[in-house]
Structure 1
Amino acid sequence: MNKPELFQARWNVRGLVICNLIPIALLCFWLWPVGNALCTAFDEWFFHLLNQPLATNSAWRHIWAVGSVRPFDLIVGIIMLCLLLRGDWVFKASEVRPAILGFVAILVLMVIIRTVFEKICDPLGLQHDSISIVLGDKAVHLSDYFPHLDKRLQIKDSSNQSFPGDHASVLLIWALFMSMFMRTAGQWLLVWALTFLFMMPRLVAGAHWGQDDYIGAVFLSLLGLGWGYFTPFAAVASSWLLRLTEPLFRLARHVPLVRRMSVISG
């Protein structure tokens, strides 16, 4: 099978350098005491702006309670997957399969980078509690308002290891990956609007500081994109995955309805 045209089996030095310099610069700014103090001050202001209305506005409280439960992450994942799989939107029908396999490979690479980064964060003391834990009684805890919902579905409103933002890093790597191929303003608006919207529940509920996302998650997603997309990695990995999964897709072509999906028919 020919290599997918979406990915080039060569090094894009300019893109790789940019995707390394930006996260390194952000991390250095965050490690700088003055920069860290500015981030913390901004995050506390932003958190109070979003979090305090939970105590007085029932609609606001219910919206973010639903958005903060674990099963809602599954809904977010399905939406992301549907936009990836939709043929002739961002990707042509014939490009959907290599696109999804290439994205999976880049996502796995980012997870590996995150694991290595976590090993560095712990001994250096870069890890911290979520803002809801640090502020204590000054924060509105959704789990206090919805104890039964928290018991059944687990409301994500606190964390003992909130840096970097894992949830946000997945959303950002998805949006950045899609951005490499998007052609219209409508595509850009939808993808990035959904990304920021789905990042909000953790920030409103206090499971993450803002810096966990705009420093930590951006750091991981840009490194993942850089070393995955701007090197031969995506081309080689997606080609290998295409060959490996071809028998499965060949069988799926015989399943009614399923065979009509772009990822199958393409």
Structure 2
Amino acid sequence: MSIQFNKWLFWNLLAVAVFASWYWLPNHGFWLDIDQSFFYYFNNKIGNSAAWVNTIAIANNRAFDGVALLAMGTVYYSYYRGAAPERKRQLLIIGLIMLLTAVGLNQLGRMIPVERPSPTLTFDNIYRLTELAGFKTKDSSGDSFPGDHGLMLMIFTAFAWRFLSWKAGLWGCVFVVLFSAPRVMAGAHWWSDIYVGALSVACFGMAWLMHSGFYELLITWFDRHLPRLSRKTR
């Protein structure tokens, strides 16, 4: 096992510092000011523009989640398509491990002793996307911390940066901002649900999994135990 101690320490300290600055400050300190600024800015736009209502409502429909999956899948497949057979096998294994990691870290996030309703369930006299849009959408969550969409996107970003390339990692960063934004714009999530909650869980979990040598062992284990597809030659 190759332990990358400096990276492990950095991401752990970042996770603890970000989460502690939100969790221990009275009323979440300066984070609440940021959260309120984002919420009221976008909520006022919902009340003033029918076009904005429809755009954000579409982006918060469950079907739109497929766009994020398609974007991540396209980036991943672009590296898989031209790879050598052994590299393709490795990428399939990494993809499987990524899915298992997403499930595991999502459960870890649910273990955080915080139950926080979304802004739309916290503030009075606000505009509700579900009341203004003419079709099914989402604008609230009874427990929005940490942001699960943001967490999944951050996990993909970490894998892309580590196992694909820095360019793929940059695409992942773009996806984090782009595809987590609709939940914040609709008031279904606080800004800090993403950039405190999801970020701290992702940094903590990925530090232990990626920089402890565990993933290398896991990739080797899957490579030994998963069947190989052989092509018959004529």
TM interval, shorter chain, is 0.7 to 0.9
CA–CA distance in structure 2, aligned partners of residues 178 and 161 of structure 1: 29
Equivalent residue, structure 1, for 2:42: 50
1:136-182 deviations in Å (ceiling 9; x for gaps): 332x22111225x21xxxx2210001011011001111122222343
> Which amino acid is 1:12 matched to?
Q
Q: What residue in structure 1 maps to residue 70 of structure 2?
A: 78
Partner in structure 2 of residue 101 of structure 1: 93
Write the letter of the residue equivalent to 1:203: V
Instruction: Say if 1:102 and 1:238, in contact at 8 Å, map to a contact too.
Output: yes
Sequence identity (%): 24
Q: Give, in whole Å, the separation in 1 of the partners of 2:177 and 2:198.
A: 12
Q: Give 1:227 shift.
A: 1.7
Q: Which residue of structure 2 lines up, in the alignment, with residue 136 of structure 1?
A: 124
Equivalent residue, structure 1, for 2:176? 195
CA distance in 1, matches of 2:175, 2:110: 27
Matched, 1:218 2:199: yes
* Post-superposition offset of 1:117: 4.3
The 3 A distance-change label for structure 1 pair 53 and 172 is same
Query: What stretches of structure 1 move > 6 A for 4+ residues in a row?
Result: none
Q: Report the Cα offset of residue 33 of structure 1.
A: 2.3
Q: How does 1:1-266 map to 2 (within 5 A)?
A: 9-34=1-26, 36-87=28-79, 92-93=83-84, 95-121=87-113, 126-138=114-126, 140-147=127-134, 149-150=135-136, 155-180=137-162, 181-184=164-167, 187=168, 189-247=170-228, 250=229
Q: Which runs of 5+ in 1 are unaligned?
A: 1-8, 255-266
CA-atom RMSD in angstroms: 2.5
Question: How many Å separate the matches in 2 of 1:99 and 1:117?
Answer: 26
Aligned residues: 230
In the alignment, residue 144 of structure 2 is paired with which amino acid? S
Q: Relative to structure 1, is the Cα distance of residues 42 and 196 closer, same or farther in structure 2, using a 3 angstrom cutoff? A: same
Residue range with higher mean Cα deviation, 95-104 or 159-168: 95-104
Q: Find the residue that maps to 1:137 and give its secondary structure.
A: coil
**How far has the Cα of 1:244 moved from its partner?**
4.2
